[in-house]
Amino acid sequence: MADKTKKVPENVSGPYYVDTECTACGLCTDDAPENFEMAESGDNAYVKKQPAGDDEKTSCESARESCPADAIGSDG
Looking at residue 56, its pLDDT comes to 98
Q: Comparing C-alpha atoms, which of 43, 2, 9, 5 is closest to residue 26?
A: 43
pLDDT in tens, 9-41: 999 999 999 999 999 999 999 999 999 999 999
Determine the average pLDDT of the residues in 37-53.
97
Looking at residue 14, its pLDDT comes to 97
Rounded to two decimals, the pTM is 0.95
> Which domains does the chain carry?
4-74 (3.30.70.20)
Q: What angle do CA 30, 15, 24 make, to 5 degrees?
A: 35
